[in-house]
């Protein structure tokens, strides 16, 4: 099965579904990414802060899939913000991945209290884009005010904004802002895993009666129904798993369509409660992480 492509605002194309490796231990990453590539995924999403870029690169090499056919995305962590530091961070990531260029390079968070550093980091991404070392650039966890400030002080509109989006936290205001700027919304935790592995007080989206009913109507699993909800609303999704059967299941979402009523019913499940950290609470002091050279 061939995954549909999304066209970014610089005409670069990206698969509508990717494979994520957040919280995947390095010793499990190679097998998981190889399984994903064997299944048919052609976009791998990693990050310097995940500390598994090296294993992602090794899995791609072992897979036998041509590098030109794999869309690699990674992220710069906040401790490497600043113009020169971010250029060096690219070198570190490219070296670990074992690649000459990166398809999509994004800033992992905004630093609201040190937004000048955020701007300088993004300007480094613009340089890397102009030099052809990356094919597209973007951001992650940026709120509408962050996007406005970025637009006012830089030249290149981000191609994507990777944000927490799932049925229990839709972030409609951010989705609207992304669309207004011509930015593709990329959903992390697209099936709501964060609702039960970080804070189980809202229950699991996988057990939600509405989602289960919609999934059953199509002969699909709740996870498949949620991924289809994202895709039909124009979002790119990056589900993650280390279980081969679930990796395959998550990929099998291109042969059915939810009705408008079903899409609206899932929209209505939004609780407005964020599972990840508050974007305005991100500081280098609280979330600092040293990114190794090798």
Q: Binding site for substrate: which residues?
A: 108
Q: How far apart are CA 152 and CA 145, in angstroms?
A: 11
Place of tokens 């995940």: 50
95 contact partners, CB below 8 Å, separation of at least 6: 294
Tell me which residue of 150, 172, 153 sits closest to 163, measured CA to CA. Answer: 172
Q: What pLDDT score was predicted for residue 212?
A: 98
CB under 8 A, 24+ apart: contacts of 228-234: 228/253, 228/256, 228/257, 228/258, 229/167, 229/258, 229/262, 229/263, 229/266, 230/165, 230/187, 230/190, 231/4, 231/16, 231/17, 232/257, 232/258, 232/263, 233/263, 234/184, 234/185
Q: What pLDDT score was predicted for residue 195?
A: 75
Q: How far apart are CA 8 and CA 6, in angstroms?
A: 6
Q: Is the pTM here over 0.85, yes or no?
A: yes
Q: What pLDDT score was predicted for residue 56?
A: 98
Q: Which residues are catalytic?
A: 50
What single DSSP character describes residue 290?
P
Sequence spans of domains, the chain: 5-281
pLDDT per residue as tens, the chain (294 positions): 678 999 999 999 999 999 999 999 999 999 999 999 999 999 999 999 999 999 999 999 999 999 999 999 999 999 999 999 999 999 999 999 999 999 999 999 999 999 999 999 999 999 999 999 999 999 999 999 999 999 999 999 999 999 999 999 999 999 999 999 999 999 999 999 887 665 555 678 999 999 999 999 999 999 999 999 999 999 999 999 999 999 999 999 999 999 999 999 999 999 999 999 999 999 999 999 999 998
Q: What pLDDT score was predicted for residue 179?
A: 97
Q: Binding site: which residues?
A: 108
1 contact partners, CB below 8 Å, separation of at least 6: 40, 251, 252, 254
| CATH homologous superfamily of 5-281 | NADP-dependent oxidoreductase domain (3.20.20.100)
């Amino acid at each position: 099965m061939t995954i549909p492509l999304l066209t970014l605002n610089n005409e670069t194309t990206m698969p509508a579904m990717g494979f994520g490796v957040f919280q995947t231990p390095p010793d499990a990453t190679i097998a998981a990414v190889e399984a994903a590539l064997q299944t048919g995924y052609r976009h791998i999403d990693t990050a310097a802060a995940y500390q598994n870029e090296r294993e992602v690169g090794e899995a791609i090499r072992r897979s036998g899939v041509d590098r030109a056919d794999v869309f690699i995305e990674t992220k710069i962590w906040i401790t490497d913000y600043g113009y020169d530091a971010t250029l060096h961070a690219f070198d570190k990531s490219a070296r670990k991945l074992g690649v000459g260029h990166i398809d999509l390079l994004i800033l992992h968070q905004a630093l609201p209290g040190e937004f000048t550093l955020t701007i300088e980091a993004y300007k480094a991404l613009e340089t890397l884009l102009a030099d052809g070392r990356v094919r597209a650039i973007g951001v992650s966890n940026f709120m509408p005010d962050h996007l406005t400030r970025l637009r006012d002080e830089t030249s290149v509109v981000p191609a994507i904004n990777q944000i927490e989006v799932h049925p229990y936290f839709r972030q409609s205001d951010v989705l609207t802002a992304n669309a207004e700027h011509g930015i593709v919304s990329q959903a992390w935790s697209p099936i709501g895993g964060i609702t039960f592995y970080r804070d189980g007080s809202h229950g699991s989206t996988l057990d939600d009666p509405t989602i289960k009913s919609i999934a059953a109507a199509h002969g699909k699993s709740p996870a498949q129904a949620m991924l289809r909800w994202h895709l039909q609303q124009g979002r790119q999704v990056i589900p993650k798993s280390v279980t081969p059967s679930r990796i395959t299941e998550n990929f099998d979402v291109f042969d059915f369509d939810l009705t408008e009523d079903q899409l609206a019913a899932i929209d209505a499940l939004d609780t407005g409660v964020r599972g990840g950290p508050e974007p305005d609470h991100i500081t280098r002091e609280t979330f600092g992480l040293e990114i190794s050279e090798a």
